[in-house]
Every structure is written in structure tokens, then in C-alpha cells.
């Protein structure tokens, strides 16, 4: 064995790899798109909530069946938006004490409250305090869902 052959080694040059600045799985685009979509949803829900509040104030000042129908449709649109979005974005199931899905229980309660409000408006005796109480209760339920 010749030692001189072993000591005369030539250095190996390392190949320079070009830097890859793109993310291969597209997670950045996904995160960016979801943030934009969440911001749009937040703006839309805030504007819907403001419109519901204005319509509720209008309904409390002037008791009219048209205003009631408009108020009811605004709340239904708001609830549809929340329910559709919650199923799309949420992967957790929240259950109440009886084992039911929490959002479903709140939606049912809002519909019952809206029906009671409609009955209050149709009555010959328009008790302002009862109607304002129902509007405040609906507003509170919507704020619970919203936050």
C-alpha cells in the first residue's frame, strides 16, 4: 500500500443549489386567503348586526308589520350566514348540557323568540315593554352567537 497516493487527494467542489423561494405545499396562499375571507366575513357580520340594530330601533318606535317582516328577514339572513360559516370553518362540536349541538339550540331559541315577537305585534294590545324586551332578548342571543 502506497501512502503517497492516499495523501494526494483532490478537493471535491460542492454543487450550488439554486434557492427555492416558493413554498411547495401552498400553505402561505391558504393562510392568506383564509385571513382575507375571515376579514370579509367579519365586516359583513358587523354591517348586518348594525342593520339589525337599526331595524330593531325602528320597530320599537313604530310598530308596523312591514318593519317586523324586515327585522325577521334580517335576523334570518344573519343566522343563515353564521350557520353556513360555522359549519364551514369550525371542526369542533359544541354540545349543551343535554348533548345537543349548541348552535342548533340557539337558532331554535331565536326562531321561537321571533315567533313570540310576531304574536306580540299582531295582538290588538301593543305592549311596548314586552316588545322591547323581546327585541333586547333577540339582540342578546345574536351577540352571544357573534362573540
Residue 23's pLDDT band (cuts 50, 70, 90): very low
Domain at 28-146, CATH from 3.90.1150.10, 3.20.20.150, 1.20.120.490, 1.20.1260.10: 1.20.120.490
Averaged pLDDT for residues 10-31: 57
Confidence of residue 114 (pLDDT cuts 50, 70, 90): low
Please state which of the ranges 1-10, 40-49, 59-68, 78-87 shows the lowest mean pLDDT: 1-10
Looking at 62-101, list the stretches that DSSP marks H as alpha helix, in order from N- to C-terminal side.
65-89
What does the pLDDT read at residue 125? 47
> How many percent of the chain have pLDDT more than 70?
46
**Tens-digit pLDDT profile for residues 57-99:** 888 788 777 888 888 888 888 777 766 665 444 455 677 788 7
Which candidate, 145, 15, 2, places its Cα nearest to that of 81?
145
pTM: 0.47
Read off the pLDDT of each residue in 103-123 and give the average, rounded to a whole number: 57
Higher-confidence residue of 65 and 36: namely 65
Which of 93 and 45 is assigned the larger pLDDT? 45
Residues 6+ apart with CB under 8 A from 144: 106
Q: What's the grid cell of residue 33?
A: 386567503
Burial of 117 (0-12, 13-18, 19+ CB in 10 A): buried
Amino acid at each position: 500500500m502506497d501512502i503517497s497516493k492516499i495523501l494526494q487527494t483532490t478537493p471535491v467542489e460542492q454543487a450550488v443549489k439554486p434557492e427555492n423561494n416558493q413554498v411547495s405545499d401552498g400553505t402561505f396562499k391558504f393562510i392568506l386567503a383564509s385571513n382575507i375571507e375571515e376579514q370579509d366575513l367579519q365586516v359583513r357580520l358587523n354591517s348586518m348586526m348594525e342593520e339589525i340594530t337599526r331595524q330593531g330601533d325602528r320597530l320599537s318606535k313604530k310598530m308596523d308589520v312591514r318593519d317586523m317582516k324586515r327585522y325577521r328577514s334580517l335576523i334570518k339572513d344573519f343566522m343563515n350566514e353564521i350557520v353556513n360559516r360555522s359549519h364551514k370553518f369550525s371542526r369542533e362540536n359544541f354540545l349543551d348540557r343535554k348533548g345537543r349541538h349548541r348552535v342548533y339550540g340557539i337558532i331554535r331559541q331565536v326562531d321561537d323568540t321571533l315567533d313570540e315577537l310576531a304574536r306580540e305585534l299582531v295582538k290588538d294590545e301593543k305592549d311596548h315593554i314586552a316588545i322591547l324586551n323581546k327585541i333586547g332578548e333577540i339582540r342578546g342571543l345574536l351577540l352571544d352567537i357573534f362573540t
